Amino acid sequence: MTEATPEQSTDTSDPIAYLQSKFGDVVSEDTRDGYSGIVVDPRQLVDVAQTIRDDLGFDLLSSASYVDYLEEGFFEMVYHVYDTRVGGSGLNFKTRTDREEPALPSLVGVWPSADFQEREAWDLMGIPFIGHPNLKRILTWEGFEGHPMRRDWQEPFYEEDAKPFGTRWPGGQVIRGEMTNPYGMNVQYPEGFTLDGWSPEGDDAIYAGLSTPETASGVDIQQIRTDQLVVNMGPQHPSTHGVFRMTVTIDGETVTKLEPVMGYLHRNHEKIGERNTWLMNMPYTDRLDYLASMSNNFAYAISVEQMLGQEVTERAELIRILMAELTRFVSHGWFIGFFLNDLGAFLTPSVYTITERDLILDLFEAVSGSRMMCNYFRFGGVAYDLPEYIGGPAVKPGDKARRLDTYKFLDDLINERMPRVLQELRDYLIDNEILVARCVGVSTISSQDAIAYGVTGPVLRATGIPYDLRRMDPYSLYEEFDFDIPVRYNGDLYDRFVVRVEEMYQSIRICQQVLPRLKETEGQNYWAGKRAYTVRVPKGEHYGHAENPKGELGFYLVSDGGANPYRYHIRSPSFINLTALEEMCKGYKVADVVAILGSLDIVLGEVDR
């Protein structure tokens, strides 16, 4: 699959040479130590991007990262593009703009998936994108002062640029953060600012943008006797799975416009990531997609390992794959339950689908020490070997102990219970007429649109594109296992549902192949590296990604050779999948919006970061 398709002429096999022959000096190779890819002059960025998409076939703009090179005095946008037909390691191209007067052309016209990512870059880095249709803050609030991802921006409780902080040891006198702030709160306001005089401009802008009368097919909607109504769904709404808001313009019951408003859970994960050391980021990744913390660990671990050139032992790889696939089962099981919840089958299916989750989390707890925030992966392996038994000693009053042999537990779970329960679910859900009536033909999206909007994961595979990184850009030991990539072709809600159910089967298949090999490798080393808390990553950049239950989770990491990452950017699947939300919802009923959002299976910890 990684070979180039025969349609491609030979001259496009070397992208840099091809682009240089077409554009000349505009395009140059990135020659910095540890860096790769192409540097493009911003004045011709759109043309070059067009060529990369059309001639070179890189149709998926996976990630648009932004880096502040403070000393060199420029901002850099780094775009990672992939070819969904052949996969492989893709191409990255960069463009630079001056720190003092930044401005870059927008790529929304070439890849609509740049939409939210450019807004994020504007919000957090302060790079204005000329030609962006809706350039405003996305993650921070409208009154936010400054652009927090700039290297010289400091947070309210700023202590030092990098952890560990000097005040902790040896003269550690405890001080609570809020005591140091004159407001006594975790905020900082610009000088002379009072909350009394402030009105939320951003909200006005949202409503103003939405209430413009639409002229569809020559008919002025104002002439027809219908009213367009702007309705807020969220931030506190049971359908949004967290704090997420959709500002929906409806005509009768039909959605004509929709704007997702997010950032209510924003904590600037990436800034924290830059202050942290490389290892400290591991438990933070748990908090991204908190239903799939093992998979987040996996993606971060392989990204850093690829930079380090660190080998991983076989047993560690097997444990990792087992955990990642069980996580996928858990995450998709959660999806099935709550998707049905969104469709109106209140809570009963959720409870049935998360019973198995409970058992799997019991395993996670015994293995890693925590049910959800596992923090289990290390660079070069995993933190501990599988435990001898699941359960613990009764200590507290009322404690009930159990002692279940780990391999027997896994055997029963993987070979017996999970397939049985999934079959049960399938039997009564897959042809369920309510499900079919609510889902078939709703929110159809074509594969071209899905790719253009940067959609990945099961939602993309429901449109007929077998793009799964476990096969397309294989990592870990996935190449050694036998499994299929389930694909459906209609791209509607029903297909997204079915793809996930089928993926759960494939996850079980992988687990069933892992288990005997785990028994074989019993007692072997589970951590190849030293158990050291300082990791020195060689200078350079790297984009590592893995197939999470929600889609492609990517980490764009830049190291300056120090103990802390210079840049730590996350390409979060939930966030980028939301780019397509408006397209998916347009023309459908308000009640469908709830189901459509449910079908994207977002987790707000990852959307807002």
Question: Site residues (CB under 8 A) for other proteins?
Answer: 159, 163-165, 167-174, 176, 276, 279-284, 345, 348, 352, 355, 358-359, 362, 365-370, 373, 375, 383-384, 387-388, 390-396, 398-404, 409, 412-413, 416-417, 424, 427-428, 431-436, 531, 533
Q: Specify the residue, 24 or 166, whose C-beta has the smaller distance to other proteins.
A: 166
Q: Specify the residue, 281 or 599, whose C-beta has the smaller distance to other proteins.
A: 281
Q: Specify the residue, 93 or 494, whose C-beta has the smaller distance to other proteins.
A: 494
CA–CA distance, 113 with 90 (Å, rounded to integer): 16
Cβ 356 to other proteins shortest distance, Å: 9
Q: Specify the residue, 36 or 350, whose C-beta has the smaller distance to other proteins.
A: 350
> What single string gives the DSSP state of each residue in 252-289?
TTEEEEEEEE--TT---HHHHHHHS-TTTHHHHHHTTS
Cβ 374 to other proteins shortest distance, Å: 10
Cβ 417 to other proteins shortest distance, Å: 5
Q: Specify the residue, 174 or 208, whose C-beta has the smaller distance to other proteins.
A: 174
Q: Specify the residue, 178 or 214, whose C-beta has the smaller distance to other proteins.
A: 178
Compute φ and ψ for 172, nearest 5 degrees. -70, 105
Cβ 86 to other proteins shortest distance, Å: 39
SS3 per residue for 309-332: CCCCCHHHHHHHHHHHHHHHHHHH
Q: Specify the residue, 110 or 563, whose C-beta has the smaller distance to other proteins.
A: 563
Q: For residue 142, how many C-alpha atoms fall within 13 Å in the half-sphere facing its CB?
A: 13
Cα 379 to Cα 285, 300, 523, distances in angstroms: 14, 9, 19
CA–CA distance, 298 with 365 (Å, rounded to integer): 17
Cβ 63 to other proteins shortest distance, Å: 24
Cβ 191 to other proteins shortest distance, Å: 29
CA–CA distance, 271 with 155 (Å, rounded to integer): 9
Q: Specify the residue, 193 or 533, whose C-beta has the smaller distance to other proteins.
A: 533
Contacts 24+ apart (CB under 8 A), 150-153: 150/68, 150/70, 150/125, 150/126, 151/68, 151/70, 152/70, 153/271
Cβ 426 to other proteins shortest distance, Å: 12
Q: Are 364 and 370 in contact (CB under 8 A)?
A: yes
What's the CA angle centered on 426, arms 423 and 432, to 5 degrees? Answer: 150
Q: Specify the residue, 21 or 348, whose C-beta has the smaller distance to other proteins.
A: 348
> What single string gives the DSSP state of each residue in 528-554?
-S---S---PPSEEEEEEEEETTEEEE
Cβ 420 to other proteins shortest distance, Å: 10
CA–CA distance, 143 with 543 (Å, rounded to integer): 32
Helix, strand or coil, per DSSP, at residue 348? helix
Cβ 158 to other proteins shortest distance, Å: 13
- Pick from 60, 83, 92: nearest CA to 3: 83
Burial (CB < 10 A; 0-12, 13-18, 19+), residue 361, is: middle
